[in-house]
Amino acid sequence: MPIKVKGDLPAKAVIESENIFIMDETRAIKQDIRPLKIALLNLMPLKHETEIQFLRALSNTPLQVDMTFVCVESYESKNTPASHLNQFYSTFSDIKDKKFDGLIITGAPVEQMEFEEVAYWEELKEIMEWSDKNVTSTLHVCWGAQAGLYYHYGIKKRGLSEKMFGIFEHNVLHRKVPLVRGFDDVFKAPHSRHTESDTEAIKACDRLTVLAESDVAGPFIIIGDEGKRIFVTGHPEYDRNTLDGEYKRDKGKGLDIKVPVNYYKDDNPENPPLLTWRGHANGLYTNWLDYYVYQVTPYEL
């Protein structure tokens, strides 16, 4: 949250020069406050688990958040009971005449398919087009990031020789951008994917800026069009045991899956997973809500 001070306080200029957000009393008096309306387009198969992860990620802020869970109509979930979707989810048809302060588009286990082969691709395109005029800022995560980069900027994805799987170190590249405010120079985050977006094309696009990247996993946080769209190529919302569950699931299926790197103590899956990314994950989602949603969204949607 911003710090409110008198507009002529000498320390205000010093703090602002350090890129700490200061709100003077004139703006504070005029600022109206209401709950933020955030829609979560949940494309993950285990929707209940994903709901918990994102609710945790969005809860570390004093802002009130009014959540709307959204599912696609053009594909029937095989892993979530219809009763759960009917009770707790809206469809795009239900919300397309509404406006939201923020939208999150999750990952999905369809990354090895071409975008056009995905059953709900046409519907997702319609939602992304709708978001331009009806959402203040959209956060795309993992496959959702690949889909958004492809649809909005024409950036293609490509297959990896082996799965990017584990906890990877990332370097902050543009410290003064508010989305990475409070980050250390180096931080960790989970990845779990078989594909990646074209790094060269991302860096060549003058509408995109890479804010954090990994020497191994590539660009991680990408901001587009001054925060109208934000892309996160990994899964900072993941819980301690999420990668553990994925690893054991694939091993149980007899798939050729390597132990997730930098995840278990001594890289031994018999040891409990180490949680090493939660602090920066919380910072990322809090910064998004504060600086790219709350501070810029209109009071009257």
* Residues known to be catalytic: 142, 235, 237
Q: CA separation (Å) from 186 to 130, 165, 217, 260? A: 36, 19, 14, 20
Cβ atoms within 10 Å of 242's Cβ, excluding its own: 19
Structure tokens at 16: 């602002």
Three-class secondary structure assignment of 23-62: EEHHHHHHCCCCCEEEEEECCCCCHHHHHHHHHHHHCCCC
Task: Determine contact, residues 189/281, Cβ cutoff 8 Å.
Answer: yes
Residue-wise DSSP of 51-106:
HHHHHHHH-SSSS-EEEEEEE-SSS--SSS-HHHHHHHEEEHHHHTTS-EEEEEE-
Task: Determine contact, residues 111/146, Cβ cutoff 8 Å.
Answer: yes
Q: Indicate the SS3 state at residue 126.
A: helix
